[in-house]
């Protein structure tokens, strides 16, 4: 499968001449393997790799951010939360990791993926992260989400089996729209959210919804494959946005020019990293 990838000169130099620490991180992530699996657990694919590439693209900022609590919602195979833990370090470095998935088979596979690569996270069988809302309210510094985003009939959302990993309902937004308010509740004042979206999800509209909650946004990675066009968007609380005092907008309202400009101010794309690349 071909990927449309663009790398600016500065980023190309970083990848061509990485520091020894960066080189080790990239090598460990590239070598992540699934040590177990299950027919009903979503294996890493283009969207998973795009999300990890977004974290790699923002790694310097993440290290400077020094997050204490990190979380993945919908961990599936454990590839993303394992990658994040490898990038940032372990509990001894002051980091605590949580991962949730509604699929008990995914919880088991994630446990085994983490263990096989020498990292740890508390993995919980939960619908989105509703069971952690009270425990972690306002504490999550980094949240990563690869939600079910594929447009499907509504009756396929949340069904048992692997289809639940991608069935997103009308416009692929049913699960995304449930995640956004939970993310807002869990994120700390300095919390960052990284979310995978599809063009059909209307990412501009999603950014408009989050802007009404006081978040700025930026596309970190954009990737087109033969099957879909993906955007990994980073959200963070922004004092300027919060100070605008906007009234909540309808979800059908077109995004403002400021939202459009924010999205068009993109970080460079990173290449496709996985054990086979």
Q: What is the pLDDT of residues 33-49, one digit of tens each?
A: 666 778 889 889 999 99
Q: Is residue 154 pLDDT above 60, yes or no?
A: yes
User: Is residue 63 situated within a structural domain?
Assistant: yes
Which whole number is the average pLDDT over 98-114? 94
Q: How many domains does the chain have?
A: 1
More confident residue, 18 or 2: 18
Weakest-pLDDT range from 53-62, 179-188, 193-202, 264-273: 264-273
d(C-alpha 158, C-alpha 120), whole Å: 27
User: Is residue 106 situated within a structural domain?
Assistant: yes
Q: Are residues 176 and 197 in contact, defined by beta-carbon separation less than 8 angstroms?
A: yes
User: Is residue 277 situated within a structural domain?
Assistant: no
Residue 131 neighbours by CB distance under 10 Å = 13
Distance (Å) of CA 259 to CA 23, 191, 235: 35, 19, 12
Q: pLDDT value at position 270?
A: 32
More confident residue, 23 or 142: 142
d(C-alpha 128, C-alpha 188), whole Å: 18
User: Is residue 234 situated within a structural domain?
Assistant: yes
User: Is residue 189 situated within a structural domain?
Assistant: yes
More confident residue, 269 or 27: 27
Q: pLDDT value at position 20?
A: 66
Return the bridge partners of 167, or none: 150
Q: Is residue 192 pLDDT above 60, yes or no?
A: yes
| Averaged pLDDT of the chain | 81
Residue 153 neighbours by CB distance under 10 Å = 9
More confident residue, 230 or 277: 230
User: Is residue 139 situated within a structural domain?
Assistant: yes
Weakest-pLDDT range from 31-40, 47-56, 63-72, 133-142: 31-40
Taking the alpha carbons at both ends of the chain, their separation in whole angstroms is 12
d(C-alpha 116, C-alpha 99), whole Å: 16
* pLDDT > 70 fraction of the chain, expressed in percent and rounded: 78
Where residue 223 sits, what CATH number does that domain have? 3.40.50.150
User: Is residue 36 situated within a structural domain?
Assistant: no
What's this model's pTM, rounded to 2 decimal places? 0.80
Q: pLDDT value at position 245?
A: 53
Which structural domain range is residue 67 located in?
44-264
Q: Is 223 helix (H, G, I), strand (E, B) or coil?
A: strand
Q: pLDDT value at position 58?
A: 95
Q: Is residue 205 pLDDT above 80, yes or no?
A: yes
**pLDDT digit string (tens) for 75-96?**
999 999 999 999 998 766 789 9
Distance (Å) of CA 254 to CA 8, 204, 207, 210, 272: 31, 8, 11, 13, 32
Q: Where are the beta strands (DSSP E) in the chain?
A: 69-73, 96-101, 122-125, 140-145, 187-198, 215-224, 229-237
Sort strands 187-198 and 69-73 into parallel, antiparallel or unpaired.
unpaired
User: Is residue 203 situated within a structural domain?
Assistant: yes
């Amino acid at each position: 499968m071909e990927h449309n990838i663009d790398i600016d000169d500065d980023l190309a130099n970083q990848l061509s001449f990485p520091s020894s620490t960066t080189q080790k991180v990239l090598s460990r992530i590239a070598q992540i393997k699934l040590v177990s699996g299950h027919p009903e657990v979503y294996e890493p694919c283009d969207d998973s790799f795009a999300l990890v590439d977004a974290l790699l693209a923002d790694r310097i900022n993440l290290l400077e951010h020094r997050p204490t609590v990190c979380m993945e919602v919908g961990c599936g195979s454990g590839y993303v939360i394992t990658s994040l833990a490898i990038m940032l370090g372990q509990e001894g470095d002051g980091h605590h990791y949580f991962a949730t998935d509604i699929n008990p088979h995914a919880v088991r596979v994630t446990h085994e993926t983490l263990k096989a690569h020498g990292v740890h996270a508390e993995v919980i069988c939960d619908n989105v992260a509703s069971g952690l809302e009270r425990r972690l309210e306002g504490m999550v510094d980094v949240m990563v989400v690869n939600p079910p985003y594929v447009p499907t009939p509504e009756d396929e959302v949340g069904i048992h089996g692997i289809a639940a990993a991608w069935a997103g309902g009308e416009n692929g937004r049913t699960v995304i729209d449930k995640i956004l308010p939970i993310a807002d509740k869990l994120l700390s004042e300095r919390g960052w959210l990284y979310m995978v979206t599809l063009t059909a999800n209307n990412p501009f509209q999603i950014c408009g919804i989050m802007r009404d909650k006081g978040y700025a946004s930026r596309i970190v990675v954009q990737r087109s494959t033969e099957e879909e066009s993906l955007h990994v968007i980073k959200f963070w609380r922004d004092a300027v946005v919060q100070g605008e005092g906007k009234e909540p907008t309808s979800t059908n309202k077109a995004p403002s020019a400021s939202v459009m400009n924010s999205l068009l101010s993109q970080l460079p794309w990173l290449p496709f990293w996985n054990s086979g690349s």
